[in-house]
A and B are shown apart, each in its own frame.
Chain A
Amino acid sequence: MLEIKNLHVKLEEEDKQILKGVDLTVEAGKVHAIMGPNGSGKSTLSYVLSGKDGYEVTEGAASLDGEDILDMEPEERAAAGLFLAFQYPVEIPGVGNMTFLRTAVNAQRKARGEEEMSAAEFLKVVRERAKTLKIDADMLKRPVNVGFSGGEKKRNEILQMAMLEPKMCILDETDSGLDVDAMKLVSEGVNALRSEGRAFLVITHYQRLLDHIKPDVVHIMANGRIVKTGGPELALEVEQNGYADILAEAV
């Protein structure tokens, strides 16, 4: 589903190389996790995949279902089925959460040549999905993420994912800032979406999330590269011993 080949990325404004040849393939139906030390380039990878400004791809390629995504606008990537749950969700004063969700859902449908969701249907679906994430009516009415607690913001990201039903979901530290119960809610939200046609790339620092969302494959990223790939046991190893051994081995 997602195929990243030898991806090199530098900052547009500075001569600073951040990704130094990332190779990664995520197959449909699978959950891949990426772990790695702070500053190793995990968020950068997710931003570059979703089309954020400020980065320059100097080498390599990335495709979604065989389609090159790096030349697409962010909205085109979204319509093609890519979704990034942000490590730091953005606050948008003045734009109601509901309006935001509905605009996004319908924009994607329109881009794919599908019919827009009616107001009534949308309301029904959003209420139902918000409820399972314990997002109340008030949070739906408020401006996007404004005044939301850290955990509420993360749950709101998952609500967006649930509404947009993307096929490639990238979750950047969605577990950080979540209390134990919220972690369960979010994981259940993710697990409910797991299906044959959908894949996940879950960026996290902690095994705890992976207890709930069982990954098929775990990658370790360091210094702008995937330095090791293994099964779920790799995450346990990191949890117990940290990165030192893995990094030493990789060098």
Chain B
Amino acid sequence: MALPQAKIDATDARLAGMDLPQGGWPAECRADALARVQAMGLPGRRDEYWKYTNPETLISAEVPQAALFDPQEPAMFDGVDRLKIVFVDGVFDADRSDDLSGEHLTIDRLADVANLDLHWAKDAYGTLEAKGQSPVQRPLAALNTAFATDGVLIHVTGAVSKPVNLIYEHSAVNSDAILHHVVKLEAGASLTILENGPAAARFNKVLEAFVADGAALNHIRTQGRDHERRAVTHMFAELGAESTFKTFTLTANGVLTRNECIVWLNGDEGVAHVAGACVGDGDFHHDDTVFITHDAVNCESRQVFKKVLRNGATGVFQGKILVKPDAQKTDGYQISQSLLLDDDSQFLAKPELEIYADDVACSHGSTSGAIDEEALYYLRSRGVPQGEATDLLTLAFLGEAVDEIEDRDLGEMIVERLQGWLTRHRR
């Protein structure tokens, strides 16, 4: 089918200013990805998958500026014993990063690998992104595969005790960063990845995760407090038998964020938990788009998303569970809820189930609500001031998503951040 002219023009306009990084084995992957972008065209307002989120500023040739913001609090995972990898506006900062090595772990930079014969990465880079183009197109992820300037390729062969922390800083008002990470966990291996920071004025990030049989990948991310930043991220995860993948994202502020998470449960008894908590005030648009495919027996998937919106903020949730004909005994759960702190804010949700197996248990629910006035009065009648009482109820609302974080210390750090945000944003 021919693309509409407007889409072709918009895509050409974006591509005109971009250079395909050259050299080595990635060149072929990049060329293929570019061909995918050209065949699909970049997303536009008319695309069904972008019905609730306007992609215009994510694809524009010119980067919308984002002022720098001093958060006046320590960076997110300071204090955690971790392996730090720092990118400033998408550029690797060797001085502030740790040595890229560890037990059961090899880490290479995408920018360096052109001349390395990295077999595993060759067969991995861009493949999940390519696979993820069906049944729904994700052109911005293909754009990323083609043009990513850097990223890390992480190969895990055993249980890694220290988390790998990808730290993204934003220092130029018009930075446009594209990073692509690939992580491969061999059978029985385990790793925790932490990500934090605003990254750039505009950030396009892809993370492809291969989780082999019996392996476990934990992922906790916080998306920074910059008010004007924009981000589109894709996380693709392919799970083997008895493996687990658990991801949690905290988003606070940012004019536009679209987080897509695409998971394939390909081996029996796999477990995938995808959760997110977001808090937005004013000019804030946050979109969680999730697609989970059950393609094996006895797998479990959970999607838990909670959004607190105020002062005209918008939250979007598009979540799908696809159960293939042979995926019997699937246990699928999906919930998306918003707490609207005023009448100006809105939550747009499109929960979907598509089930082709007969012996499955799937449930989904989506709600929008206001603060419970009875509970608020009860708290106030006990002497808790209105602001504090509202925060307490708001944190309670977010609790179900935050509880998805297994590590209690990390969970508490997230709660502290939320608490801080709520206090700063009190009326």
Query: Once the chains bind, are A51 and B380 in contact (CB under 8 Å)?
Result: yes
Given A94-B397, A94-B400, A103-B392, residue A78 in contact with residue B377 (CB < 8 A)? no
Which chain B residues border A78 with CB–CB below 8 Å?
380-383
Near A by CB (< 8 A), chain B positions 374-424 give 374-375, 377-386, 388-389, 392-393, 395-397, 399-400
A90 to B379, CA, bound (A): 9
Residue of A at shortest CB range from B373? A53
**CB of B284 to closest CB in A, whole Å:** 23
A101-117: CB near B (< 8 Å → 1, else 0) gives: 00110011001000000
> How many Cβ-Cβ contacts under 8 Å join chain A to chain B?
77
Which residue of the partner chain, among B372, B386, B397, contacts A73 with CB atoms under 8 Å? Answer: B386
Check A160/B393 contact, CB under 8 A, given A90-B375, A103-B388: no
CB of B424, distance to nearest CB on chain A (Å): 19
Q: Which residue in chain B gives the minimum CB-CB distance to A160?
A: B382
A89 CA to B381 CA, complexed, in Å: 11
Report chain A residues within 8 Å CB of B397. Answer: 94
Neighbouring B residues of A103 by C-beta, 8 Å? 379, 384, 388, 392
Residues of B with C-beta under 8 A to A100: 379, 382, 392
CB within 8 Å for A75 and B385 given contacts A95-B393, A95-B396: yes
Q: Is A164 an interface residue (CB 8 A)?
A: yes
Partner of A74, one of B372, B377, B399: B377
B interface footprint on A75-94 (CB within 8 Å = 1, 0 otherwise): 10111000110100111111
B381 in contact with A51 (CB, 8 Å): yes
Q: Are A92 and B396 in contact (CB under 8 A)?
A: yes
Chain A residues with Cβ below 8 Å from B400 are 94
A95 to B389 Cα, complex, angstroms:
11
* Dominant SS among interface residues on chain B: helix
Contacts of B389 in A (CB 8 A): 75
Contact A74 B380 (CB under 8 A): yes
Q: Roughly how many angstroms separate A83 CA and B383 CA in the complex, as a whole number?
A: 9
| A79, B377: Cα distance in complex, Å | 14
Chain B window 305-318, contacts with chain A (Cβ cutoff 8 Å), 1 for yes, 0 for no: 00000000000000
Given A53-B373, A103-B388, A107-B388, A92:B383 Cβ within 8 A: no
Enumerate A44-60 residues with CB–CB distance to B below 8 Å.
Answer: 50-53
Task: With a 10 A CB-CB cut-off, give which of B374, B385, B399 has the most chain A CB atoms.
Answer: B385
Least Cβ distance of A47 to chain B in Å? Answer: 9
A92-B375, A95-B396 are contacts. A79–B383 as well, Cβ < 8 Å?
A: yes
Shortest beta-carbon distance from A183 to chain B in Å: 23
B377 & A107 in contact (Cβ 8 Å cutoff): no
Distance of B26 from chain A, by nearest CB (Å): 47
Knowing A94-B399, A95-B396, say if A84 contacts B383 (CB, 8 Å): no
Among the listed B379, B380, B381, B388, which residue makes an inter-chain contact with A92, where contact means beta carbons less than 8 Å apart?
B379
Chain B residues in 8 Å Cβ range of A95: 392-393, 396
Interface residues of chain B, those whose CB is within 8 Å of chain A, are 372-375, 377-386, 388-389, 392-393, 395-397, 399-400
Other A-B pairs beyond A75-B384, A103-B392, A108-B382, 17, CB < 8 Å? A51-B377, A51-B381, A52-B377, A53-B377, A73-B385, A74-B377, A75-B380, A75-B381, A77-B381, A91-B375, A92-B393, A95-B392, A95-B396, A107-B382, A107-B383, A107-B388, A164-B382
22 of the cross-chain contacts (CB-CB < 8 Å) are A51-B380, A52-B377, A52-B381, A53-B373, A53-B377, A73-B380, A75-B384, A75-B389, A78-B382, A86-B378, A94-B396, A95-B393, A99-B392, A100-B392, A103-B379, A103-B388, A104-B382, A107-B382, A107-B388, A111-B383, A111-B385, A160-B382
